[in-house]
């Protein structure tokens, strides 16, 4: 049997329930954002799109986005969130945009960095190809009445697949909406991306940080995630992590030690504020595929894979997942999302104390139809 397996562009959507693993500091007199300064000053004077490094982290001395300029990012192969760390001041007078894309006809909108794609529109004159596909991500929309828009911090109509937490830890973006039936149909909107900006000194936003979900005629992506961490800051700008086309709001989190800082910002999304003065913990748990249908997946690959089972193959196939950095019994969800058939959820439990810490299961795959496999903790 031959199979086609390739890494997807998904984020490592793991550890959504692993917050208690780390002791998170509340206050810090001398906050260290964690930048080693190796990137130097990041200064944006005109519309610019930067390639994300493999881990998504920019180690800057200072960060400046001038008025009238917009900074965007090309997603990396692991689809990590954007992390901007600065030793000095961060000043955003222009815009930083990690929004999800709108649909383009039958093509689903691409999620922003760290976010998830919209589902495919119907394709072809007969079932199941004329069926629009479900969206991607933990809050994915389903191709069913009142469930096509994506959820995140809040439910989207009858789609109650909310996820994440108010600290936005781990950092994860919005989910994609479902596609709609037709020949061709309409794709769903992409989920907003995720971005963390941390400074040793201050963050000033007079412009906009945008992590909106993408729009589509029959369901929009959920908003993404924006987190700011600095001792103080301000400005009169906007932080947008709202959904689109009935997609749910994403999350906005501001952590600082100055009680009056950031009070004049306009915030759109599910917003919280606190004094959790940390940027990136030294280690974060992760979940990845070890093998699909007997074919090994590199340990460094993303937490999801795209896969196609050739016609005539046995539909029952095995999947092995491995967790790193977890402890105890960890509940997982494995989701199989075909392009034009309904998605299927498999509930699993990982024994993180096993050697190796792996869990295997049997799944059913459609013949000759591309699917994406995603996994995350519940």
pLDDT digits (tens, 9 = 90+) for 204-228: 999 999 999 999 999 999 999 999 9
Question: Residues near 353 by Cβ (< 8 Å), separated by ≥ 6?
Answer: 327, 328
Start-to-end Cα distance in the chain: 33
Measure the CA–CA gap between 210 and 5, rounded to whole angstroms.
33
Ranges 87-96, 111-120, 256-265, 362-371: which has the least confidence: 362-371
pLDDT beyond 50 at 161: yes
Contact 330, 323 (CB under 8 A): yes
pLDDT beyond 50 at 203: yes
Measure the CA–CA gap between 243 and 241, rounded to whole angstroms.
7
Residues of the chain with pLDDT > 90: what percent? 78
Our measurement of the distance from residue 30's CA atom to the centroid of its chain's CA atoms, rounded to an integer in Å, reads 30
Mean pLDDT of 76-86: 94
Q: Which pLDDT value is given to residue 368?
A: 83
Contact 117, 108 (CB under 8 A): yes
All domains of the chain, ordered by start, with CATH?
4-16+283-377 (2.60.40), 23-280 (no CATH)
Q: pLDDT tens across 128-151, in order?
A: 789 999 999 999 999 999 999 999
Which residue(s) pair with 63 in the sheet? Answer: 42, 90
Contact 122, 129 (CB under 8 A): yes
Contact 52, 75 (CB under 8 A): yes
Measure the CA–CA gap between 372 and 339, rounded to whole angstroms.
8
pTM of the model: 0.91
pLDDT beyond 90 at 367: no
Mean pLDDT of 52-77: 96
| 139 secondary structure, DSSP code | T
Measure the CA–CA gap between 121 and 47, rounded to whole angstroms.
31
Q: Which pLDDT value is given to residue 29?
A: 55
Distances in Å between the Cα of 192 and the Cα atoms of 80, 177, 249, 273, 377 are: 13, 11, 10, 20, 20
Distances in Å between the Cα of 20 and the Cα atoms of 27, 165, 284 are: 18, 12, 12
Question: Residues near 196 by Cβ (< 8 Å), separated by ≥ 6?
Answer: 81, 82, 83, 84, 168, 171, 227, 228, 229, 279, 280
């Amino acid at each position: 049997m031959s199979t086609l397996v390739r890494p997807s562009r998904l984020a490592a959507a793991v550890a959504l329930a692993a917050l208690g693993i780390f002791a998170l500091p509340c206050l810090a007199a001398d906050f260290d954002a964690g930048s080693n300064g190796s990137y130097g000053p990041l200064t944006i004077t005109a519309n610019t799109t930067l390639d994300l490094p493999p881990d998504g982290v920019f180690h800057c001395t200072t960060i400046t986005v001038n008025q009238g300029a917009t900074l965007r990012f090309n997603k990396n192969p692991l689809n990590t969130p954007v992390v901007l760390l600065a030793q000095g001041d961060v000043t955003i007078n222009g815009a930083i945009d990690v929004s999800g894309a709108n649909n383009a006809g039958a093509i689903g909108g691409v999620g922003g960095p760290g976010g998830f794609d919209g589902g495919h529109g119907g394709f072809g004159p007969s079932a199941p190809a004329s069926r629009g596909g479900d969206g991607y991500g933990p809050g994915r929309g389903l191709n069913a009445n009142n469930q096509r828009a994506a959820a995140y911090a809040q439910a989207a109509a009858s789609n109650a697949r909310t996820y994440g937490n108010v600290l936005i830890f781990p950092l994860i973006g919005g989910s994609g909406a479902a596609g709609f039936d037709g020949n061709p149909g309409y794709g769903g909107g992409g989920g907003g991306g995720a971005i963390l900006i941390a400074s040793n000194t201050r963050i000033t936003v007079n412009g906009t940080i945008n992590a909106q979900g993408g729009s589509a005629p029959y369901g929009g992506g959920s908003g993404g995630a924006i987190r700011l961490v600095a001792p103080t800051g301000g400005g009169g700008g906007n932080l947008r992590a709202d959904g689109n086309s009935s997609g749910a709001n994403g999350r906005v989190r501001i952590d600082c030690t100055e009680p009056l800082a950031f009070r004049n910002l306009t915030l759109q999304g599910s917003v919280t504020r606190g004094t959790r003065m940390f940027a990136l913990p030294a280690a974060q748990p992760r979940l990845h595929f070890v093998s699909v249908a007997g074919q090994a997946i590199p340990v460094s690959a993303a937490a999801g894979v795209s896969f196609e089972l050739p016609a005539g193959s046995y539909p029952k196939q095995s999947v092995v997942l491995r967790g790193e950095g977890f402890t105890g019994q960890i509940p997982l969800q494995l989701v199989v999302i075909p392009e034009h058939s309904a998605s299927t959820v498999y509930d699993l439990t990982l024994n993180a104390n096993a050697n190796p810490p792996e869990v295997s299961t049997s799944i059913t795959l459609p013949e000759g139809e591309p699917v994406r496999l995603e996994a995350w903790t519940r």
